[in-house]
Structure formats: C-alpha cells, structure tokens
Structure 1
Amino acid sequence: MMPKVLVSDSLSKDGLAALEGTEGLTVDYKPGLSEDELVEAIKGVNGLVIRSGSKVTAKVIAAADELKVVGRAGIGVDNVDVPEASRRGIIVMNTPTGNAVTTAEHAISLLMSIARKIPFASAAMKEGKWEKKKCQGIELAGKTLGVIGLGNIGRIVAERASGLHMKIVGFDPVVTKERAAELGIELVTLDELFARADAITVHTPLNKHTQGLVNDDTIAKMKDGVLLVNAARGGIYEEDALIRGLESGKIAGVAIDVYVEEPPGLTDLIKHPLVVATPHLGASTTEAQQRVAVEIAQQVAAYLTTGEISNSLNVPAIPAELAPVLGPYQRLASALGEFLAQVSDIEPIGIEIGAEGEAATLSLAPIVNAALAGLLDKFLEAPVNAVNAPLVAKDRGIEVSENKSTATGEFSTLVSLTVKGKGGTSVSVAGTLAADGTARLVRWGALEMEAHLDGAMLVLRNADRPGVIGRIGTLLGESGINVSRMQVGLDASAKEAASLWAIDGKLPSDLVENVRASDNVNQAFAVRIG
C-alpha cells in the first residue's frame, strides 16, 4: 500500500504539486480541520503536513495509528506536541531556513517603525493631523542593537542591522565568541546586553529558559528609552511588564508580532499608543510561504519514499547522499538488537554500541538509535523505533554509551552491541555487512560464526559433540519444518557450539521445548528478525 499524506492546512499549489508529483504517494488535502476532525482524518495516515493552524495534540497523536512523520511548513512547532510525538516514534520536521529572511526583514521593519514612529504618523495623517513634532524619532545608525538568539533569523537580523551601521551585541549560550566575531557580533552576557543595547530583539524558541525573559527585573537593567521588538514567540516578553515600562518612560517603544494567545484580541498592550502590533506576519510573504511549502513537501515525501531525514527536531538527520550508506548499517544494528533481545534474559541497565572500521567513519547516532530500537522493541509492549528509542532508554534509566575505532581487524567493518545487566552480567553480539549489504552475525559472546540475520530461525547453543545437529534436523523434519539454511559457530575453549537454522514459517512452541530437552542442547530459542 502506498504511503498516505494528509495536508490539514492551506498549502501553496507548488507545495501540493511537489507531494502529488512524488511517485508512490497518495495525498489527501483537507485544510482547516478542527482537532476533533483531525483525530478522525489522521487514522491510517503516514505523513501529516501542517502550517500554524493545525494543532497536533496528544489527542491527535493517540489517534494516529500509522503516522510516521509530521512536517511543519515554517520554523515554529508550538502547535505540535513534540515530546508526545517522540514517545510515539513519530518524526517531526520543520523548515528552519525557508522563512528566515522574511522573518528577519519583518523584525527590522518593526524596529524602524518604532524608531521613526511611522505607524503613529500615518494614523495621524489619516485623521487630518500634521503631527510632525510628536512623531520625531531616533536615528538607528551608531546605535547598539542587542540580538538575543543567534540562529538563522538572529544572524540575518544582525547582518541587516550592520548594514544600517548599527553596533551589534548578541547573546546565545551555544555560540562561541569566535563564531560570533566572524558574524560581526560581539558576544556578551545577557545582563551586559540589557545594559548596553539601545534596542533589543529576540529570536529564540519559547521554552523554560526564555519564558518571561523580559520582565520587570530585566527591564530595570535596560537603558532609558530602550526599544523592544519581538517577532519570535509570544510569552518571551511579559506583557504587563511591558506596559509598566512604557508608562514609566523606561521603554520608548514596543513592536510585537507574536502573542501568548493568537489572535490576542484588543489587549491593553496592543491599544497602547507607543506599541506597534502586527498579526504574526513574520513569515507572511508570498516568497516565504511558497518556499516553505515546497521544502516541507519535499522533505516529507523524501522520508516516506527513501528514508532521507532532514530538518528533524527529534531524530538525527540522514542526508540523501548518506541514506544508501547508512541504511544497511541501521538494518544491521537493528537486527543485532532484535537477536540479542530474543536470546538473552538480561534486564538491561546499560547498553553499549561499538563501531569499527568503515562503520566508525559514519555518523553513529542513526546506528545507535537503530540498535536501541531493535533491542528495546522486543522487551516492551509499546512500539519502539529509532525516533523514540533514546527516550525509552532514558525513561527506564538505561545508560547508553558508544565507542568507535577506525582500526580494522578481521573485518573491514563491524558493529557490536553489548547489554549490561545487574551484578556485572553482560552479553554481546557483533555483526558485519556482506558484499551484498545484508547483515551477518559474526560473534555471539565468545562464539564465532558467520550467519545470516533475517527472517525466522531456530537458534541453539549446545555442547560441541557428534550427533547433535543430526538429531535436531530429524526433529524439525518430523514436524514438517523446512530448513532453508543452517549455519554454525564455535567456542573451542568452552567446547560449545551454536547453530542458526533458517526456517519457513513459524516454529511451534512445543517443538522448541522438545529441542531444549534434547541431549547436549544448552539453550534453544525461536527468533524472528525483521
């Protein structure tokens, strides 16, 4: 069955065309759905494309029985319950650069509008008033602009403001001073920015660190007559504090494009004569809407048809050129995890994933997530995949570690997985890729082998003695089980052997019990990979 994509907000014609023109996809265009309507429409859907209108709540996600990816045309994902999507193994994508220029231009426009009091002057003119003296503004050249958040939009704002000959100071906890200097920005502390800036603009997400960032206390640290701009997210500025700052004269003007509740209604802040308010227009240009629609359509289509991941908020990106390379390693890691989960009864408190040779030259995060998913999915009732596996491990207090070495030994490439349990117990497996890219198990504890890792199989550990293999083969034959392949491994020091019997169909549980009861059989498992 072809993957199905639901578009629940209005999207440009080119964005829809990008989805509908992708071979192997079916597209359902239903803009303007309410939450209850979306709950019904989401059933059986593999991909969801939205803008800011649709609310992808926990209720919607709970109804999404087949959903794999949510694509947001734009940057902000406040309307998506990302933690819940992650727990359910759903990828959330956005388009972080598609409307960056447009939003940055709007922030600069807002700044200039309050610096030169353009909206107030225009309103007076429409009333037949010539308010030249009242609307005297300030020149921005030579003034200091404080930019909080130096991501894509913040950097463009700084660049544009530099073109106006403003001095730029910036704050961002994850940007180095050297990188900021390359961008022409002096990196300072938040308190120093508040003290030095003639105008301040924020370009950050709304989170526990930025909620109420501008409040009575921080406004008190600012220069008298400061100008404040918010084209990022409602809630970063405390509205009541802004009103008090305006009334006291501490703040000379505020320009806002975003609100805690949208639409906000006619609030005291919006009515204030020194406030310029726009209805969340940051990304509202023809060019930006066209660009983000096409970008998100291409991203969602690429993931559903090729597995390429780009601009994901909750899983490592896999560029198109690396997807064919990483794919076999992800399948190998997942197969190792599935195998180990079915042949070990150790309750994991620690999991270590290793990579050697060629595998160590690749991004390890997608391989690690695939291994975790393969392992944990067999332990738990709730579905686990590469998106939610790290969260599942963290929630259960399982410590995940990784190691890599580009040195090669017997194999040119190797992925290993070790599960650590209580009391110092552990069990490990290792695998490699065959020439055709399929997974091979090459080590199980001290046992060495080269066995296919796919499909249904009977897995044995037994004493290395004559006749064991023959008796097991007879048992299978008498039960009408067809064996398509049998591969063995040996731990010579312990005089123990292992064998993997690839079978057609499902092993009856009583047959597995009979195998376990056979002479010299130490362990027997019914295993299914994939």
Structure 2
Amino acid sequence: MFKILVSDALSEEGLGVLKSSKDFVVDVKTGLKADELKGIVGDYDALVVRSATKVTAEVIEAGKKLKIVGRAGVGLDNVDLAAATAKGIIVMNTPGGNTISTAEHTMSLIMSLSRNIPLADASMKKKEWKRKDFMGVELYNKTIGIVGLGRIGMEVAKRCLAFGMRVKAYDPFLSREVAEKIGVELGTLEDVYRAADYITVHVPLTEETKGMISDKEIGMMKGGVRLINCARGGIIDEQALARGLESGKVAGAALDVYVEEPPKDCPLAKFGANVVLTPHLGASTEEAQVNVAIEIAHQISDALLGKGIRNAANFPSVDPETYHALQPYINLCEKLGSFTSQIAQGALTEVNVTYSGDIAAHDTAPLTMALMKGLLSPMLQDTVNFINSLSLAKDRGIRTTELKSLQSEEFVTLVSLEIKTDKETHRVAGTLLSKSDPRIVKVDEFYVEAIPSGCMLLMQNWDKPGIIGNLGKLMGEHNINIAAMSFGREKQGGRAMSVLNVDSCVSAELLEKVKKQPHILSAKIVEL
C-alpha cells in the first residue's frame, strides 16, 4: 500500500486515477505552510504538486519514504531537483500537457495587443463610444520573431502562419530543414531582433536567458516592435521594457509572467492601451488542468507499481538492478553531454557516440539518453529529461548514431562523443576512475584529465612558460581558489589546453581579463 500526498489543487479526473487503485491511499491537503508540509511528508511515498508547493531541500530531507515527486505541469522551478536526485527520489513532470493552452494564450495576447481589446472593452462598459481611440494594426504580412521553437513555440508558429504572418525564429537546437518544412525561417537572435514586428519568447529561464532581451537588444529592434512573454518572468527585462515603451521604440507589450509573482511593483502596470498584462494564465484552461492531472496521475501510478517510468527529469527508464550498475556511466554521460554543449557554438546538427571497452557489453540506450539530456539541457532546461531527450533531438532534426566496440586501446572503458554544429565540430571523450569518478580525458585533439564538476575554466593557449603563474595570480587577485588543474598539448611550444576547476565561478569581467593574458588563444566557462 502506497500513500500519496496531493498538496496543490488537482482536477477530479486526475485524483480519480489515483483513488481508483486499491494500492494507493490518497490524501489531498492543499495550502500547507512549509513547516506543515515538512511535518507530514515523511509519511508518504509520493508527493503531487503544481506550482504553489515549494519542494525544497528541507522538504525532501523530511520525506524519509518519498520515492516520487510529481509536478502537474512543465516547469520544475519549485522542486529542488539536485536534492531529490541525491536522495534517490524520482522527479516527474508533464512537459506536453499545457502546450496548446499556452500557445493559444500567446495568440490571445498578440490579438488583444494589436486591436486594443482590453481597453476597448472597458470603454464600452462605461457606455462610451470612442472608436478613434482604439485604432489597431493587422497581423497579416507582419513578421513575428519566435525565440525558442520547442513544443509551444512550434504551435505558436503554426497559428501565426495561419494568420498570414511571416515567421522568423531562433532555436540553436532546431535544424534548418525541419524549420523550412513548416514554413519558418531560422536566423540568429540578432536577425530575429532586427527583422520582427512582433517578438515572442518561448525558452526556459536560465542564466543564459535571464534578461536576454534588455536595453541592448531592444536597441537592435525595429521602431514600433511589440514584445510578448508567456514563458518565464525575467526573460524580458521589465525595467528595460518600460524604458522602451516610454521612448516609443517599443509600441506595445503583453506579459503573462513576471520576475516576481504576484508582482508588487511592476513597472509596466502604469501603461495604458499598449500594454496587456495577465496573471500567469498560460496553463489556465480546463483542458490543460485536466490533461496534466491525468498525465501525472498515470505516471506516478505506473512508477510506484513498477510498470515503467515516463517523463522523469532525473531517472532513465531502466529496472533498479540495471540502473545501479549503469548509474556511474549515466552520470558520466550526462556531464559529458553538458560539457560539450557548453563549449560548442552554432546549431547542433549531428551527434555520434561510441562506447568502447567493458561498457559496450551493456545496454547503452540509457547512456545515450543521458548524454543527449546533457547536450540539450543547457538550452532546454526542465523541458528535457532522460525519457524525451532523444525524441526532442529527432524533432529538431539532430542526427544521432551510436556505435559499440568491445575493444578500447587506451582505457578499460571509454565514451567518445562527436558533435557537429552548423559552425564547428567537437570531439570529447570520458571515462571512469575507480569505477565511479568521471573524468574528461580528451577534448578535441588534446589529452587531459579534467574533473567534470562545478565551475570549469577551459582555455586554449600557446605552450609558453609563465601562463599558469599568471593565471594563478589573476585568480588570487579575484579571491578565486583553483581546486584542480589539467593540461594537454600538441607538442612542446605548440598549442595547448588548460582546464581549471575553481571553487567559485568566474565572472564575465574576469573571463575577459583571462582572454587578454599573454599567449591565451581562447577561454570559456563551463558549469556542471
């Protein structure tokens, strides 16, 4: 008998799936404070949440029996995934359940913004008749820029095409062939910013996407551009957007998400007809709430009853015994993928992975899923997991091949990864030390022994005396401790690679100083 706690409102259809099984006891207790949740969560095998409940490290630590945390929705911002993984708790979400509702809400905001519908409605209800005050613009023949062509972005693109709009998009993980097949033109972010009459963002909130549209980006845009955000608050800098509206560079904006929710002092609230604001309604349709509730209920039921694991953010679909044997390699492959993704530039087009030595005797499918999850996660974040990583890659036109060789000349076991983008090719290889410690042993043509963990500074340089001393001094001046170093070179005096693990991450300002050091050819930051 498994006990399931539902701590946020879930549709009756979803609850019915769980309550219909004689194997489950289901308790619905919504509105719990953090201490109240911590006080009772230890009695349960599974916890079902939406967005209100914060599943913190403290909650996870208190969940002594917890096996699964299920999020009825896409984002996992409210779940401490690292803490759950460390405790062996499976975290699931429902990445497809609110796709249509969010795409439709995006279109609703675009239409409302274009035709001044909210203020026109308010005016009519005041018994006014001010037609001239609400002159609008047509969508037909306008260019919409879509940043992020995942599930939601793709549905928005289809609807915009139906309105006769030209669709220009940016997505580094989508192939040009797939985009052209549906009538979408791919370009760089700058291309999108400069060409679009409307810009809508559909990417997760990450360090890379936080504030990705700010003063500089708005400065690139057409005069009279209109901006829409139904993804995550903070992708568009709210203060910069307000300045763009005040100057007239931005003709209008429509937001469903905010840096702070609910917003206490939103700088956009003071604007009139040219700004439309809604209280995070993207997934607020009856259909979407039913869909995600039923989906997460079935996922949790199947996982608890040993019928399979779907849409897990931190667990591949394998039986427990196999997972125990493969877990160190799964960890290695995910880190290898993430590392390679972060050093590459351009749109990913091809992935080739080779398993050599002892590991080739195993079922390597979970390893390839982990590797692809690592490759896609820096961009797609919580919309990609072990289960959907390969299908997402296929949807984006990324060709994937897997080869095995029982022989490994250099190591007992070796995972070799080659990725190709529209700009460059990278080859990275990794292995395990002492059967559990991952190491990156080759980056392109350089042999290294780098620990794939934390903040890493990756540099190419000329093999000259004094480089390490200069870097050590520079790091010391910025109070950054070097935890580990690894070096490789082509030949004495030739090109070399240096990999530093540092205890605190290198700022953008310090990275520029590193690049200006004598004999440094390039420098990048990788965070794992």
2:45 touches 2:65 (CA, 8 Å); kept in 1?
A: yes
The equivalent residue for 2:109 is: 110
Question: Which amino acid counterpart does residue 175 of structure 2 have in structure 1?
Answer: T
Residue 365 of structure 1, CA deviation: 5.4
Q: Contact 2:356/2:406 (CA < 8 Å) preserved in 1?
A: no
Q: Show the counterpart of 1:78.
A: 77
Amino acid at match of 1:286: E
SS of structure 1 residue aligned to 2:134: coil
Q: Evaluate the alpha carbon distance shift between residue 182 and residue 119 of structure 1 in structure 2; reply closer, same or farther with a 3 A threshold.
A: same
Q: Which moved more, 1:191-200 or 1:72-81?
A: 72-81
Q: For the residues of structure 2 that align with 1:162 and 1:155, how far apart are their CA atoms?
A: 11
Alpha-carbon distance between aligned partners in 1 of 2:359 and 2:22, rounded to the nearest angstrom: 36
List per-residue Cα deviations over 1:337-391 (Å, max 9, x = no partner): 9xxxxxxxxxxxxx9984456x4474445899xxxxxxxxxxxxxxxxxx9xxxx
CA–CA separation in structure 1 for the residues paired with 2:146 and 2:370: 38
Q: Distance in 2 between matches of 1:331 and 1:193?
A: 46
Partner of 1:297: 297
**Offset, 1:5:** 1.3
SS at match of 1:101: helix
Q: Which amino acid aligns with 1:39?
A: K
Describe the shift of the 1:366–1:205 C-alpha distance in structure 2 as closer, same or farther (beyond 3 A). closer
Indicate whether 1:61 and 2:60 are aligned. Answer: yes
Residue in 2 that maps onto 1:7: 6
Q: In the TM superposition, what is the alpha-carbon distance from 1:85 to its structure 2 partner?
A: 2.0
TM-score, normalization by structure 1: 0.63
Partner of 2:4: helix, strand, or coil? strand
CA contact (8 A) 1:360 1:406 kept: no
Structure 1 164/419 Cα, relative in aligned 2: closer, same or farther at 3 Å? Answer: closer
Which residue does 1:507 correspond to in 2?
A: none
The residue that corresponds to 2:199 in the other structure is 200
C-alpha displacement of 1:405: 3.3
What amino acid maps onto 1:14 in structure 2? E
| Match of residue 279 from structure 1 | 279
Unmatched 5+ residue regions in structure 2? 331-354, 372-385, 387-401, 408-430, 436-528
- Secondary structure of 1:214's match? coil
Q: Deviations over 1:251-280 (max 9, x none)?
A: 111111111111113633123112111111
Alignment of 1:34-183 (within 5 A): 34-183=33-182
Q: Deviations over 1:199-247 (max 9, x none)?
A: 0111111110110111111111111111111111111111111111111
The answer to whether the Cα contact below 8 Å between 1:330 and 1:367 also exists between their aligned partners in 2 is: no
CA–CA separation in structure 2 for the residues paired with 1:256 and 1:133: 25
Q: Is the 8 A contact 1:18 1:297 kept in 2?
A: yes
CA distance in 2, matches of 1:353, 1:9: 48
The separation in 2 between residues aligned to 1:102 and 1:421, in whole angstroms, is 49
1:135/1:334 CA distance change after superposition, 3 Å: closer
Decide whether the 8 Å contact of 2:356 with 2:405 is kept in 1: no
Give the 3 Å change call, closer, same or farther, for CA 354–132 of structure 1 in structure 2.
farther
Q: Which has the larger radius of gyration?
A: 1
Alpha-carbon separation, structure 2, partners of 1:334 and 1:183: 39
Q: Which amino acid aligns with 1:92?
A: V
Measured in 2, the distance between the counterparts of 1:164 and 1:335 equals: 50
**Cα shift at 1:16:** 0.6
The 8 Å contact of residues 155 and 183 in structure 1, kept in 2 or not, is answered as no
In structure 2, C-alpha distance between the alignment counterparts of 1:29 and 1:75, rounded to whole Å: 21
Contact 1:330–1:366 under 8 Å retained in 2: no
**Contact 1:12/1:290 (CA < 8 Å) preserved in 2?**
yes
- Equivalent AA in structure 2 for residue 312 of structure 1: A
* CA 1:366–1:258: 2 relative to 1, 3 Å: closer
Q: In the aligned structure 2, how far is the partner of 1:313 from the partner of 1:108?
A: 29
1:290 maps to amino acid:
V
User: Alpha carbons of 1:419 and 1:109: their partners in 2 closer, same or farther (altered >3 Å)?
Assistant: closer
- The letter of the residue matching 2:46 is G
Unmatched tracts of structure 1, length 5 or more: 338-350, 369-386, 388-402, 409-417, 423-530
Q: Separation in 1 of the partners of 2:156 and 2:328?
A: 47
Letter of the 2:276 partner, please give it.
Answer: V
Cα offset, 1:154, TM superposition: 0.5
1:17: how far off? 0.9
Equivalent pair of 1:361/1:406 in contact (CA under 8 Å): no
Correspondences of 1:71-470 after superposition (within 5 Å): 71-265=70-264, 267-273=266-272, 274-306=274-306, 308-316=308-316, 318=317, 329-330=322-323, 354-356=358-360, 359-360=362-363, 362-364=365-367, 405=404, 420-421=433-434
Quick one: which amino acid aligns to residue 173 of structure 2? V
Q: Deviations over 1:93-144 (max 9, x none)?
A: 1111111001100000000100111112112222232221221111001111
Q: Deviations over 1:507-526 (max 9, x none)?
A: xxxxxxxxxxxxxxxxxxxx
Cα deviation 1:275-326 (Å, max 9, x = unaligned): 111111101111110110000111111111115221122233x2xxxx5xx5
State which drifts further: 254-263 or 304-313. 304-313
Give 1:54 shift: 0.6
Counterpart code for 1:247: E
| Structure 1 residues 134-169: Cα deviation after superposition (integer angstroms, max 9, x where no partner) | 211110011111111111111000011111111111
Instruction: List per-residue Cα deviations over 1:161-193 (Å, max 9, x = no partner).
Output: 111111111111211212222232111100110
Amino acid at match of 1:255: A
Change (3 A) 1:183 1:268: same
* Structure-1 separation of matches of 2:365 and 2:432: 22
Give secondary structure in 1 for the equivalent of 2:268. Answer: helix
Distance 1:336 1:271, change over 3 A: closer
- Residues 1:421 and 1:50: Cα distance change in structure 2 (over 3 Å): closer
- Alpha-carbon separation, structure 2, partners of 1:243 and 1:228: 11
Instruction: Give the CA deviation at 1:73.
Output: 0.6
The Cα RMSD (Å) is 3.1
TM-score by length of 2: 0.63
